[in-house]
Chain A
Amino acid sequence: MNTIIPQLRKQNKLSQEELALAVGVTRQTITSIEVGKYTASLVLAYKIAKYFGKSIEEVFDFSDVEGL
């Protein structure tokens, strides 16, 4: 699953560590989400989207998910 988290972080001048702390996960989790190795849970996706003031669909790209 693709995401625009890296771009959003750049826009907001935010490090992975800072974002991780804000949403209550480790930096490694944010890294894994950004490179597409790990799919965030609904709650975490919501927290990240809310942190940037966006909706989940704006932050995460579900086009490559089967059955959608």
Chain B
Amino acid sequence: MDNFKKTLKRRNIYNICMIAVLVAAAIIIYFSFVPSNHDMGMFIIGILSGLTALLVALTLKNCFVMRNNKKLQAMHIKENDERQAMILQKTGATLLPICAFGLGIAAVTAMFFNPLISLTLISVIGFMALIKAALRLYYGRKL
């Protein structure tokens, strides 16, 4: 369980770094972008604030769990459960072809209205295929 505690601590450090980056980005946007484009600037700051709140909540949850051994064990079991891992693997494996099919239909439809959007969607499909091929190669060598 000590290893898992270390993992949570590492996650918290990462979260705190991300929070710092998000807050810095919000401050920069507030002083550079908001005066020229108020609505868009505030919209971006809103999104950044939401992400920051989410990260703060996750960090606090990790801190709370680290103090309670029962909750720590429950979280460890939940994260390392082999059935959950298999569900995630199967979900990921099924998601990609479905997304590619949906994007393909959208690309064909978009061709009638705006070829640029269609080309963008085709590029996304190509990128997804590239990532899949790279991951297959990586895991084929690793496992």
Check: A38 CB closer than 8 A to any chain B CB: yes
- On chain A, the number of residues with a Cβ less than 8 Å from chain B's Cβ atoms is 12
Contact present for A44 and B77 (CB under 8 Å): no
Check: B82 CB closer than 8 A to any chain A CB: yes
Shortest distance in angstroms between B2's beta carbon and chain A's nearest beta carbon? 15
Q: How far is the CA of A41 from the CA of B83 in the complex (A)?
A: 9
Check: A8 CB closer than 8 A to any chain B CB: no
Question: Within 8 Å CB of B7, what residues of A?
Answer: none
Question: Within 8 Å CB of A38, what residues of B?
Answer: 83, 86
Taking beta carbons and an 8 Å cutoff, which residues of B are in contact with A?
A: 73, 76-78, 80-84, 86
A–B pairs, 18, beta carbons within 8 Å: A20-B77, A21-B73, A21-B77, A24-B76, A24-B80, A25-B77, A25-B82, A26-B77, A26-B78, A26-B81, A26-B83, A28-B83, A29-B83, A29-B84, A32-B83, A38-B86, A40-B82, A41-B82
